[in-house]
Structure 1
């Protein structure tokens, strides 16, 4: 185990049945201009042999980056899997942590401005990147907004062509877990991400709790990554049935866990509006497995 310095960043990447995406992500890290980092690749019990293949690739010298491989033994969800690696990196003494989706490719300068911002202002707890759709100049994320009355979240600049309109560093409501860099004090003052969300809203919950503790949440436009968007959940045009379940249920859980009680009522009522929209979209877009989708939406409202 190498000696960790206060400049070292633990890059946390979660793999689940995605050999090609994770391989490309790791290869892109070879070109980072920021030299002080170590990758913690954690696997949520993949069934496609991707974890073993990636580990063998590392032994064969195919990655020119330092990697620690961690196997969870079962699918712990987004927060659970990431937390395993974060805990290991924290135990080793890392000051900064960069959660990065495995279906991303990073610009060589992506990490440097994230660390510089954290070092410049000790009140900044979480920072994140400008994120494009993979292979395009179209924005997927330029900071996040949260309506704390309803639990509705939105990406600033979503699907806009980038013309420089979001090139200003600014405080935002949340940073997406697709590219989220934070200082270790977040773990010490807020704790780890809530694992029972399993998928969606866990990092938004975490951002809001951090903000409630006085930490600044900052979007950094000159940190750029490219995202293949929702590969593991079926993509934007054909989401898996469970996406609606976690979206409806977890949005309300987030409000209950981060906001005053009077906002719980409006959030709960909003779940029914959201469920109706999803049912209509299911019919209009002719999604498959309609009965399963309806059952999961009802189950989400119940929970």
Structure 2
């Protein structure tokens, strides 16, 4: 560790066929003002361009460690494997993100050196419009919270896997993210497990990660409000719906709480579906969502073929 650093940190990055974005993420991690002890990259069976890039970074820095998966296990499978390896490595903190997350140089410093007691500390995301987002509360549904810049440590319940930093004891107590989600809602499920174990989480509102949605993103203006929408392929709606059903099925909450969550899911899906019918020409998302709901109800998990 560098002079003045009190804790060791291992970063975990999951990547799949985005070498240009991955290169920027790794450069920013290597340039953090609070030095990392290790960077574990989980490659989800990417093509040769990604492998060549990772070979370059491995030769450039001894802290970069790459693990190549034989098949694409999705974000959830990648984070499961990466956090498992991070725990074996033994650092005090684990800092995880996708390959399109661009932390500012002092992001990790602000997370680790925060005076908050919370063992889970989350960076705030900034989109292409400069809007801050990415923190949530749980009220039998995921509720987005506005980032309060006047509150340095903002209590939260849920977060995305774009820059959360976990103390080691949290992962020991809670376990690893569920690999069988493949993609979507694995971060919600993990957040709720952390909350259920009694650990607190805060957003460190001056710790910033610029999140690049990518080439499929677009700026949408509806009712005089602009936002950046991630133009995800329709098939991802399958995993989003199925995995939210699985969160409901696997919850230890009482029947009344589950009923409220189920109601909120139905309202959410109805609202989204109406929006797709009104604003989008391609309605295939609805088909995938219905299939995901069905498979969620029967408990079919894993990657679909």
TM-score of the aligned structures, taking structure 2 as reference length: 0.82
Query: Conserved in 2, the CA contact under 8 Å of 1:6 and 1:94?
Result: no
Partners in 2 of 1:166 and 1:89 — Cα distance? 34
Q: Cα offset for 1:57?
A: 2.0
Partner of 1:100: 97
The answer to whether structure 1 residue 278 and structure 2 residue 272 are counterparts is: yes
Among 191, 198, 203, the residue aligned to 1:219: 203
Partner of 2:289: 297
Q: 1:17 to 1:272 in 2, by over 3 A?
A: same
Partners in 2 of 1:200 and 1:209 — Cα distance? 16
Q: Cα offset for 1:105?
A: 1.3
Partners in 2 of 1:37 and 1:260 — Cα distance? 43
The answer to whether structure 1 residue 247 and structure 2 residue 240 are counterparts is: yes
Partner of 2:139: 147
Where structure 1 has 5 or more consecutive residues not aligned to the other structure, the ranges are 159-163
Q: Cα offset for 1:157?
A: 2.5
Q: 1:232 to 1:154 in 2, by over 3 A?
A: farther
Q: How many residues are paired up? A: 281
Partner of 2:107: 110
Cα deviation digits, residues 7-60 of structure 1 (max 9, x gap): 2211000001111111111111232110243110111112x3243122232256
Which aligned pairs between 1:3-18 and structure 2 lie closer than 5 A? 7-18=7-18
Query: Conserved in 2, the CA contact under 8 Å of 1:79 and 1:202?
Result: yes
Which aligned pairs between 1:1-303 and structure 2 lie closer than 5 A? 7-46=7-46, 48-58=47-57, 61=60, 66-117=63-114, 121=117, 124-134=118-128, 136-141=129-134, 143-148=135-140, 152-157=141-146, 165=149, 167-229=151-213, 236=229, 238-258=231-251, 259-288=253-282, 290=283, 292-302=284-294, 303=296
Cα deviation digits, residues 84-141 of structure 1 (max 9, x gap): 1211121121221000221021111100121123x863xx23110121114x532132
Secondary structure of the 1:111 match is helix
TM-score of the aligned structures, taking structure 1 as reference length: 0.83
Q: Cα offset for 1:166?
A: 5.1
Secondary structure of the 2:91 match is coil
